[in-house]
Each structure stands twice: as structure tokens, then as C-alpha cells.
Structure 1
Amino acid sequence: MRKVLSGVAAVLLSGMPVYAADLYEPQVIEAPVQETAVVETGGWYLRGDAGWSYNKMRGAHYFQGSNDNDVDFTSTRLKSGFVIGGGVGYQINDHFRTDLTLDYMFKSNFRGSTSGGGDVADYDAADGACSGPCTSTDIASMTALSLLANAYVDIGHYGSITPYVGAGIGGTYVRWGDLRNTSCSTVDPTDCDTETHRGKKSWRFTYALMAGASVDLTCNLKADVGYRFRHITKGAMFGYASNGGPGYDKGFYSHEARAGLRYSFNGCETASYIPPADIPIEPPVYK
């Protein structure tokens, strides 16, 4: 009996490695890559801007005495003015957007001068000012309302800062105030005459070029700081009065430093997380 039990124990001990070697390892299933739902960055936005415009007038001319004598102003100067505006736009993708803007330039003062008239020998004080040679000082003011369609390229994102460039095209409604013309004789500076010419108003073709950067303030609010160049083309300036006029300006350039805000309606939408699919776990199988 003792020999039988010893033999059974020896067989059991010698079989244990066999059971360990036959342990089945289940197939390893790799977890799928975590994915995120793609949310488009496009959407509508509103903007508001304010700035200061340095204006450069390209000149002016008028008819002196008759329609055959078209004379340039000796000097022209259009002072700087405050600009405010707003608009609505659409962010097409991460790098391209468009908007429609309306901007108003507050009153900018104009000051110019002209010279002309007869020879010194022709001067007769009894005839009044400018019966001989004369010079004049011309004072007026101008306001402008621009409607532009614009397109921008957002160059890239550097933290919270996004630089951009853009261009726009449209029209500007220019309104000239009455021009006050004071002419004085060069022979007798006290011999002066003043005339008022009715100001003109008209729509002008306008194009613009922009560059700047936006700064993320919140998920849906951006600050916008930049520069805009506008070219407003020529048009009527003032009408005829007392043997002088009408007059026309040759257009002007507007160099603007601007700052504003842009509010995006879906700026706070973020990418949503999609959890991986359930992975079945197989229990170990022993053979």
C-alpha cells in the first residue's frame, strides 16, 4: 500500500509543469485610438471699431472766371478725423473670413488757398478785391460714410494672437460743407471779398487694405487692433458762385489706426470627446 501511494504522489508531482505549460493566454485586443468630433470653426460674428484717420488730400481744382480756365488749388489740407463703425461677418474656416462694414468719418476740416486775377497794373481799388492779382483762403469741412465688403486671411494662431491681412471694396458717400472763400488783393491786403460756395455731396468708389491682429479675450470675444488704408476717389466739392466754380477734389487717402471688438456667436463650441468602444475581455482558459 505504501508503495502505491508513493507512486501516485510521484505521478502528480511530475504532471504539474504540464498543467502550467497548458495555460491559455487570450488574444490581446488593441484599444482603438481615441477620436474627437470635428467642430467647424465657422460662424457669424458682429464687430465694432473706432479709430483715428490721418487724411491726405490729393488736391483740388476749380473753374476760375469761365469754364475754359480750370485752375488747381495752390494748397490743400484735409485734417485728421475720428472714425467709428460696425459690421457683420462670417468665419468661413480657420483661416478665411468675410464681413460687411459701415464706417462714419466725423467732420474733417479743410483749408486751401488759390491765387490768380489780373496784373498789378490792372488793379483798381474802386473795383473791389481781386480786380488785380489776388490770393484767397478757402475753408470748408467734410464727412464721409463708407460701405465696404471685406475679406481677410488669418495667417496663423500664436497662442491667443492671430495676425491677419485683408482687402475691401465698396463706396463712400462724401458730403462737403459750404466752402467759404476769402480773396484779398496782393496790392492791398486790406481789400478783401468773401464768397460762399454751396458744398456738394456724392458717392465715390473706394477700396481698402488692412493688416492687424486679433487677441482672444474669451472663447467668443476677440479684440482687434490694426491699420487700414482707404483710397476714396475724386468727385464734386463745391458749386458756382460769383464768377468762380464749380470745384472738384481729386480724392484723398485715409490712413487709419483702429481698435475694436469681434463677438462670435459659436465661439464657445469645443470639440466633444467620443469614448472608445467597449473591449470584450476573455477569461483565461486552461486546457
Structure 2
Amino acid sequence: MRMGFMLKAVKHSVAVGALLITTSAFAADPFEPQVVEMPPYQPPQVVEKSVSTGNWYLRGDAGYHWSELRGIHYYTAPPIQAQTFATHELKGAFSIGGGVGYKISKHFRTDLTADYWLKADFNGSTTNGVDVSSDASAYSALLLMANAYVDLGTYHGITPYVGAGIGGAYVKWDDLANTIGTTTTYHEGNAEWRFAWALMAGASYCLTDSLELDAGYRYANISGGEMFGIAEGAGPGYDEGMHVHEARAGLRFALGGQGSANCAQPQVVSYEPPSFEPPVYK
């Protein structure tokens, strides 16, 4: 009986020892799940898409100009002698114009313009040493120019610029009325094309993304030419060209729907990376 009891005790000890060994083995080798790593989180990025500068524009202008003649000479006969006007003056007059241009870059553009100068009245006088005449006429002109401008940067919607142009002016003189005492002689006015060049300076202001207000000054130099014909032994007469100072204001409208490079705001493109997700365990 004692032998049987001891045998049961040994079996019980072996079973407990096996259970402890098994439990220790499981405790020494815990379960470790596999982690699949996700890419690191990146905040949203903002990219500015630049505004296209290669676009066309239309312009319309109105102004007021003051003209100054560099001199007038004419001929008398017989014998043929060269004479000059003792006095000459041109009044101011209005002008209107328009054109089409192309914005090459943010700082450089060109355009072709046509401007009509309304009639500017002329008054002058001549003398032959005995009699003094009173002379009256008027001139108008069509100015066609090819222009180039440098835009000097945009500051709070204002873009100052400088420019230059070259072209031609169709100058038309009215008949010249030459009055001595109570006698008036009419000399037929002349019309012809003349060489012209110009210098400009001014500034534009952004009204909308596509519309700019343009205000500036233009100096135009017109070459000389025939002014009036022969009548009563005097003539022809030639003006020696003119300096023209002009204050202008107008509008420039960018075509193509992209807006003016000076005024349109860069398009903001927002890039949103994939949202961050917690790790996935397998």
C-alpha cells in the first residue's frame, strides 16, 4: 500500500513538472505580429502656377496734344527769295486712338497704334519790310506707330513703363488765309506722309485681372514738309517739322481669358497627399 502511494506521488510530480515546463516555454516565446510600415506623413503642398504672358491685348486712348512748329519758310517772286514767318503758333487739340498689342513677357510688350489728331489752329504773321500779314490755317494728322515698352514691375496694382515708337504721320494742312489790310489771299493747304518717332512714359493700374487703366505722356517728333502752295507770287511754304507733346489716358484689355500678366493673380494649385492611416497588422 505504501508502494502504491509513492507511485501515485511520483506520477503527480511528473505531471506538475511537465505543466510548468510547457508554461515556461509559452512564456519565453510570445506572439509578435508583423508590422507593415506606411510612408511618413507629408503636409499639403501649395504650388503657384504662373500666369501666361504671351497674350494679345486691345487698347483705346484719348488725349490732348500741344504742337510746336520748328519754323516756316516760303518763297516770293520775282526774283525768287526765301522768306521766313515772323511769328507762328499752334493751339492745342484733342486726339483719339486705338491699337493692338502683344505681351511678350512680364516686362516687355509691343503694339501697333493709330491715333487721329483733331485740328489744331495755326496763327502766324509775315512781313516784307513794309506790310505785315496775318496768316491763319489749321492742321490735323493721322499717326501710325510701331511701339515697344518696358514695364518696370507691378507695385500694388500700378505698373510704370517707358517706351519708344517709330512710324509715319499723314499731316494735312487746311488752306492758308494770308491777309494784308483788307485783302485776303488763299494758299492751298498740302497733305502728305512724313516720318515720325516718339518717346513715351506712364503707368497702368489694374482695374480687373484683364483690364488696365493706362495714363501717360508721349513726345512725338514729326519731320518737315510742304505746308501750302503758290498764290499771288508767294509760295510754296514749308514747315520745318514739329514737336508734339501729348497727355493720354485709355484702357488696355487682355484677350484670351488668361488675364493681364501685370494684373492676374497666380493660380494656386493645392496638392493633398494620401491621408495617414494607422499601421496594418498581419
Structure-1 residue corresponding to 2:70:
58
Q: Relative to structure 2, which stretch is displaced further, 170-179 or 66-75?
A: 66-75
Match of 2:127 in 1: 115
1:95-136 deviation digits (Å, cap 9, x = unpaired):
11111111011111000111115xxxxxxxxxxxxxxx1111
What is the CA distance between 1:38 and its match in structure 2?
3.8
CA deviation profile, 1:145-195 (whole Å, cap 9, x unmatched): 1011111111101011111111111000010001010124xxxxxxx4321
Partner of 2:143: 146
Give the residue type in structure 1 aligned to 2:62: A
**Distance in 2 between the 1:76 and 1:202 partners?**
21
In structure 2, do the counterparts of structure 1 residues 213 and 23 end up closer, same or farther at CA, with 3 Å as the change threshold? same
Residue 213 of structure 1 is matched in structure 2 by 203
Counting only pairs closer than 5 Å after superposition, residues 104-253 of structure 1 correspond to structure 2 as: 104-117=116-129, 133-184=130-181, 192-253=182-243
- Cα distance, 1:276 vs. partner? 3.6
The separation in 2 between residues aligned to 1:69 and 1:91, in whole angstroms, is 53
* Cα distance, 1:29 vs structure 2: 6.2
Ranges in structure 1 where 5+ consecutive residues have no aligned partner: 118-132, 185-191
Contact persistence 2:52–2:258 (CA under 8 A): no
Cα deviation for residue 66 of structure 1 reads: 4.0
Amino acid at match of 1:284: P
**SS of the residue aligned with 1:92?**
strand
Contact 1:220 1:266 in 2 (8 A): no
Aligned length: 262
Larger radius of gyration: 2
Aligned in 2, Cα 1:158/1:274: closer, same or farther, shift over 3 Å?
A: closer
Q: Measure how far apart 1:138 and its partner are.
A: 0.6
Unaligned stretches of 5+ in structure 2? 1-14, 260-264
Measured against aligned partners, the alpha-carbon deviations of 1:209-240 in whole angstroms (never above 9, x if no partner) come to 00000101011111000000001110000011
Deviation at 1:68, TM superposition (A): 3.2
Matched residues in 1 for 2:146 and 2:87: separation?
34
Corresponding residue for 2:6? none
Are 1:163 and 1:214, in contact at CA under 8 Å, matched by a contact in 2?
A: yes
> Which runs of structure 1 show a deviation greater than 4 angstroms over 4 or more consecutive aligned residues?
1-5, 22-27, 29-34, 267-275, 277-283
- Residues in 2 aligned to 1:67 and 1:216: alpha-carbon distance in whole angstroms: 63
1:31 and 1:276 in contact (8 A); partners too: no
Greater mean deviation of Cα atoms: 168-177 or 267-276: 267-276
- Give the whole-Å Cα distance in 1 for the aligned partners of 2:275 and 2:117: 69
Q: Which residue of 1 aligns with 2:95?
A: 83
Contact 1:66/1:244 (<8 A) preserved: no
CA contact (8 A) 1:111 1:137 kept: yes
Q: State the identity as a percent.
A: 47
Match of residue 125 from structure 1: none
Structure-2 residue corresponding to 1:42: 54
User: Paired residue for 1:128?
Assistant: none
Distance 2:79 2:44 in 1: 84
Mean Cα displacement is larger for which, 138-147 or 261-270?
A: 261-270
Q: Residues 14-61 of structure 1: CA distance to partner in whole angstroms, max 9, x if unpaired?
A: 988x969x9786553656854344441221111110011011111101
**Deviation (angstroms), 1:272:** 4.7
1:284 alignment counterpart: 279
> 1:127 maps to which residue?
none
Higher deviation after alignment, 57-66 or 217-226: 57-66
How far did 1:266 drift?
3.1
For 1:223, the aligned partner's letter is L
TM-score by length of 1: 0.80
